[in-house]
Chains A and B, each alone.
Chain A
Amino acid sequence: MSAGQEQRTIRCLVAKVGLDGHDRGAHVIARAFRDAGFEVIYSGLHRAPEEIVQAAVQEDVDVLGISILSGAHNTLVPKVIEGLKEYGAFEDTLVIVGGIIPDEDREDLMAAGVAAVFGPGTPMQETIDFVRDNAPRR
């Protein structure tokens, strides 16, 4: 690295919140993010919102991707966002959600502070491009 040149690697936390036990999708996205040159921290299954907040704050991630299939997104996602706000980490964290999210819930999630929702079948490149374009500049 030459003097003055800044190296910036996008850091993402890929998180599974709540009780659903399927993390194949989360694995796939973690792998795709890694191959895109991102640093990915994977939370593992069955995390409580406060665990996700703790990890996002300590790891100082640019992007928090929450994967939810259980239908509990309306309660869990706002909790995570509240937690981020508590630590002053919400403004510069891009929060995205993936998984099974009914159309009628999307607006509420966006209103709560989610930047984008990626449902099943979203091309991987679309998600990666979105992250590249929207990861907060600090």
Chain B
Amino acid sequence: MSETNADQLVADVLDGDHRALARTITKIEERATGYRDLVSTLHAHTGDAEVIGVTGSPGAGKSTLVDKLAKRYRDRGLTVGVIAVDPSSPYTGGAVLGDRIRMASNVGDMDVFFRSMSARGQLGGLSTATADAIKALDAFGKDRIVVETVGAGQNEVDVVRTADTVVVLVQPGSGDDVQMLKAGILEIGDVFVVNKADMDGAATTVSDLREMLHMREGATAAGAGHHGAGTTAVGTSEADDDGDDGNAWDPRIVETVATEGEGVTELIDALDEHHAHLRSTGELDRRERSRYAEEIRQLLRNDVADLLEEELERHGGIEALVDEVSDRESDPYTVADRILDPLVDCVRERRERPLD
């Protein structure tokens, strides 16, 4: 992609061209040549959208709820972007991205921009790609961006961390309360939704959830200065002042019947409340800083990993090195040192030189 092409694409995105937005997200997904410049340029135009992450187990009703949420936002005159993340096959890389089927309330409304993404087998790369796609939607001018993902593993938790507010969907009867004790899901939620609230057992689920969250509050209050979800400490600078403030967010529990659109208004109220809370406590900035720190680290890790792959190739590829090790001619530490040494030398040499 030539520079002028990139400039034109950004201009078109900022101009509200849907095709350009779609194309931009594709370039981001494919890590196409020049996608970095594209994201760099878009970054200056971001910062206005509220980003909401929605996660929960398969079948909990995430897509249906997101559909109704988008509709309700549209009724209020807001524009919406949705990114739905689905797993891809670890064998073929193929994927069926099926969440679009449930976006029936927003048919023909281009101001709901719905985009399916898959993991494409990149460990850790998904959250980078999602964060970049959010930037594209933000720069395009979307007021609300919803990121929807199955809450199964680390990858998905990372994706959800790209959001200001995290919504966790729980389905009644989805297991005993030990399920909720398991790490992950409970810690990341700012708002919990018990969907399918018309089902038997919904009341039990709500009270179980309330109890668990209460215990979480107790545990974190006694903890080492952190409160609630998502406050992954980045810098050491902010870590100190967030222990003793009395404004810890008390996670909300909302009951919905997504298929009927019941409880969606209450959910939006809870989301607005949480956002107001983030603003008033300065947590919004802290989360943003934490996200950027993670983004920078992730990019660095990826780039260094790529550089190391190149070095591996230069040394005859991993197989040749494995041969050396298994023939007892060498050992893993020696091999690693041999490959890394020139890089270390290079970096140290550059460090000695005065900065330009």
* Number of cross-chain contacts by CB at 8 Å: 99
B271 contacts partner chain A, Cβ-Cβ < 8 Å: no
Assembly CA distance A3 to B125 (angstroms): 14
B120 contacts partner chain A, Cβ-Cβ < 8 Å: yes
A26-70 toward B: CB 8 Å interface, digit per residue (1/0)? 000011011111111111100010110011011110000000000
Are B306 and A39 within 8 A (Cβ)? Answer: no
Are B97 and A41 within 8 A (Cβ)? Answer: yes
A122 contacts partner chain B, Cβ-Cβ < 8 Å: no
User: Contacts of A37 on B, CB cut-off 8 Å?
Assistant: 89, 92-94
Are B89 and A58 within 8 A (Cβ)? Answer: no
Interface size on B, residues (CB 8 A): 38
Are B18 and A87 within 8 A (Cβ)? Answer: yes
Query: Given that A58-B22, A58-B115, A60-B22 are contacting pairs, would A51 and B107 also be in contact in the complex, using a CB cutoff of 8 Å?
Result: yes
Assembly CA distance A44 to B33 (angstroms): 34
Are A7 and B94 within 8 A (Cβ)? Answer: no
User: Contacts of A89 on B, CB cut-off 8 Å?
Assistant: 19
Nearest residue, chain A, Cβ from B86: A39
Are A40 and B94 within 8 A (Cβ)? Answer: yes
Nearest residue, chain A, Cβ from B116: A41
Which chain B residues (148-186) contact chain A, with CB distance < 8 Å?
Answer: none
Max count, chain B CB within 10 A of own CB: residue among A6, A7, A30, A88: A7
Which chain B residues (286-336) contact chain A, with CB distance < 8 Å?
Answer: 303, 306-307, 309-310
Nearest residue, chain B, Cβ from A53: B108
Query: Given that A2-B309, A6-B33, A57-B22 are contacting pairs, would A51 and B108 also be in contact in the complex, using a CB cutoff of 8 Å?
Result: yes
Instruction: From B18, B31, B107, give the contact of A1 (CB < 8 A).
Output: B31
User: Contacts of A55 on B, CB cut-off 8 Å?
Assistant: 100, 114
User: Contacts of A51 on B, CB cut-off 8 Å?
Assistant: 107-108
Are A7 and B97 within 8 A (Cβ)? Answer: no
User: Contacts of A6 on B, CB cut-off 8 Å?
Assistant: 30-33
Which chain B residues (122-147) contact chain A, with CB distance < 8 Å?
Answer: 122, 125
Query: Given that A34-B94, A57-B22 are contacting pairs, would A48 and B306 also be in contact in the complex, using a CB cutoff of 8 Å?
Result: no
User: Contacts of B306 on A, CB cut-off 8 Å?
Assistant: 1-3
B110 contacts partner chain A, Cβ-Cβ < 8 Å: yes
Assembly CA distance A3 to B31 (angstroms): 10
User: Contacts of A41 on B, CB cut-off 8 Å?
Assistant: 96-98, 100, 116
B26 contacts partner chain A, Cβ-Cβ < 8 Å: yes
Are A39 and B88 within 8 A (Cβ)? Answer: yes
Assembly CA distance A15 to B122 (angstroms): 28
B279 contacts partner chain A, Cβ-Cβ < 8 Å: no
Instruction: From B98, B115, B122, B310, give the contact of A42 (CB < 8 A).
Output: B98
Assembly CA distance A34 to B94 (angstroms): 4
B95 contacts partner chain A, Cβ-Cβ < 8 Å: yes
Shortest CB–CB separation between residue B312 and chain A, in angstroms? 10
Are A42 and B96 within 8 A (Cβ)? Answer: yes
Shortest CB–CB separation between residue B97 and chain A, in angstroms? 5
User: Contacts of A42 on B, CB cut-off 8 Å?
Assistant: 96-98, 100-101
Are B18 and A57 within 8 A (Cβ)? Answer: yes
B73 contacts partner chain A, Cβ-Cβ < 8 Å: no
A24 contacts partner chain B, Cβ-Cβ < 8 Å: no
User: Contacts of B32 on A, CB cut-off 8 Å?
Assistant: 6
B113 contacts partner chain A, Cβ-Cβ < 8 Å: yes
Q: List 22 A-B contacts (CB under 8 A).
A: A1-B125, A3-B303, A6-B32, A9-B30, A35-B92, A37-B94, A39-B88, A39-B95, A39-B97, A39-B116, A40-B95, A41-B98, A42-B96, A43-B101, A51-B108, A55-B114, A58-B22, A58-B114, A59-B22, A60-B19, A60-B22, A60-B26
Q: A9-B30, A36-B92, A41-B96 are in contact. List 20 more A-B contacts (CB 8 A).
A: A1-B31, A2-B309, A4-B33, A7-B120, A30-B96, A31-B96, A34-B89, A34-B94, A34-B96, A39-B94, A39-B95, A41-B100, A42-B96, A43-B100, A44-B100, A57-B18, A60-B22, A60-B23, A87-B18, A89-B19
Q: Which residues of B contact A (CB under 8 A)?
A: 18-19, 22-23, 25-26, 29-33, 88-89, 92-98, 100-101, 107-108, 110, 113-116, 118, 120, 122, 125, 303, 306-307, 309-310
